[in-house]
Amino acid sequence: MESLFRPLLTLLLVAIFHTLPPLASSFPISPNFPAVFNFGDSNSDTGELSSGLGFRLQPSYGKSYFFKPPSSGRFCNGRLIVDFLMEAIDRPYLRPYLDSVSTQSYRRGCNFAAGGSTIQKANAASISPFGLGVQVSQFVTFKSKVLQLLQQDEDLEKYLPSEYYFKNGLYMFDIGQNDIAGAFYNKTLDQVVGLIPTIIDIFQDGIKRLYVEGARNFWIHNTGPLGCLAQVVSIFGRDKSKLDEFGCVIDHNQAAKLFNSQLHGLFKKLPQQYPDSRFTYVDIFSIKSDLILNHSNYGFDHSIMVCCGTGGPPLNYNNQVNCGSTGKSSDGTIITATACNDSSKYVNWDGIHYTEAANRFVAHHILSGRYSETALSWNL
């Protein structure tokens, strides 16, 4: 009986694998995905928040970016992890959904990620009104309008993704950092940990909604070591007993690890719940932790101290004066947060976000394939 079943199983598996774009042999993200649709926060925002709220970042942001104007809408001095990933698969940088005027098209994908966004629904205190649920709704609207336009004029496929692109595209997620980091402003560690299952449930709801829309290829980043961000250290690390041996806030990193553990648990269950899909889980925490703990081995001089800030060592960070801005110190002195001379020596750009050099490091390690797991699902 087993000998009769095995050939049939082999044929089924071959058929299933041929319905999905093949993975590249050298790294886990395939160049065969025709389009990419991204959801997230400032870690992958290519201009969504600035377009949506109608503001421009200070010129220091984007100063290393090779397009004009200097400010690209990215919360970085240059490119983000998602930019390097797009380069690796020979795809154009992702155009923000709310970018009304651009020379870029949406044919190869669209970016819904917005700085300050959370998995949970935004509230009155939120920096971004574009929580994950809103971003998914934006995608649903985007897809519906695109397909309507393509029915009216097939020539628009030069600028818009076809139904095939939506079905076989890659759906990327890098979100959750603000849910965890933001919760610490009014919650204890235990309370933050107690909130994580709810956050994970909301995240899964986003996956489900996209699956219903035809999404089948999902790429999920976990969150990084939040306790090693200068902003977190400056506010929650004043009591040195709260810091670990590397100068990172212990509670924040513990919460990030617990969030990642539950996110990974969800990742393991998803293939069973959503047939004919591919899920990839990327361990961003391990990559960034390695960079911070061993930064000098990788050519960086500073792991926590920021490049664009004010105040000098050990953090060069003032929570009241953002990168590129001018304000007053506690004693009334006028101060300006300026960029360092060589950002390639810094892991952290502005206290919250990484430099282009650090983002390049993270992307390189993602592409090595050593920090990702891929699971396929199917009906037998």
Active site residues per annotation: 42, 350, 353
Contact between 119 and 132 (Cβ < 8 Å): yes
- Decide if 280 contacts 220 (C-beta within 8 A): yes
Q: CA 95, 100, 105 angle in degrees (round to 5)?
A: 40
**Cross-strand partners of 280:** 219, 374
Q: Regarding beta strands 326-328 and 334-336, do their DSSP bridges make them parallel or antiparallel, or are they unpaired?
A: antiparallel
Q: 220-237: buried (b, 16+ CB within 10 Å) or exposed (e) per residue?
A: bbbbbbbbbbbbbbbebb
Amino acid at 198: T
Helix, strand, coil percentages in the chain from 3-state DSSP, rounded to 5: 40, 15, 45
- The string of DSSP letters for 318-377 reads -TTS-TT-EEE-TTS-EEE-B--S-GGGEEESSSSSB-HHHHHHHHHHHHTSTTEEEEE-
Q: What is the rounded CA–CA span in Å between residue 98 and residue 52?
A: 6
CA–CA distance from 281 to each of 190, 209, 263, 306, 326 (Å)? Answer: 26, 19, 9, 29, 40
